[in-house]
Amino acid sequence: GQNIDQPTEMTATEGAIVQINCTYQTSGFNGLFWYQQHAGEAPTFLSYNVLDGLEEKGRFSSFLSRSKGYSYLLLKELQMKDSASYLCAVVDSNYQLIWGAGTKLIIKP
């Protein structure tokens, strides 16, 4: 079967760094997406990794290890507006996105 695992909820402090992990087992792999979803809103694109390594984009970075079936999203200099759910999704062999349940990130002052 296909499976994407993420922690259900994490809490962090404003100004700190947080790492959200995602492990996956899918039929084929054509890349991994991270999306951000604020409460009551639609998911929006954050990052895409298809090769191993770290992709940095401002305060957000995403890492992929295909051999380990593992990715993480790193958020630096946390701001209150970063309070949201973070969704990990893998592109499978049929080019469909397989979604994790999401990690709800709570930022405290």
Partner 1 sequence: IAGITQAPTSQILAAGRRMTLRCTQDMRHNAMYWYRQDLGLGLRLIHYSNTAGTTGKGEVPDGYSVSRANTDDFPLTLASAVPSQTSVYFCASSDLSGGPYNEQFFGPGTRLTVL
> Among 7, 21, 23, 30, which residue sits at the site for partner 1 (rule: CB under 8 A)?
30
**Contacts with 39 (C-beta within 8 Å, 6 or more apart), sequence order:** 84, 85
By the rule CB under 8 A, 77 interacts with partner 1? no
Least distance in angstroms from the C-beta of 109 to partner 1: 26
Give the integer Cα–Cα distance in Å for 80 and 101.
Answer: 22
- Residue 83 or 92 having the CB closest to partner 1: 92
By the rule CB under 8 A, 3 interacts with partner 1? no
Residue 26 near residue 98, CB atoms below 8 Å: yes
By the rule CB under 8 A, 69 interacts with partner 1? no
CA distances 100 to 8, 10, 58, 66, 77, Å, are 10, 15, 24, 17, 25
By the rule CB under 8 A, 22 interacts with partner 1? no
- Kindly state the tokens that stand for 14: 């404003």
- Chain positions 35 to 64 lying near partner 1, rule: CB under 8 A, are 41-45, 48, 50
Interface positions with partner 1 (CB under 8 A): 4, 8, 30-31, 33, 41-45, 48, 50, 87, 89, 91, 95-97, 99-102
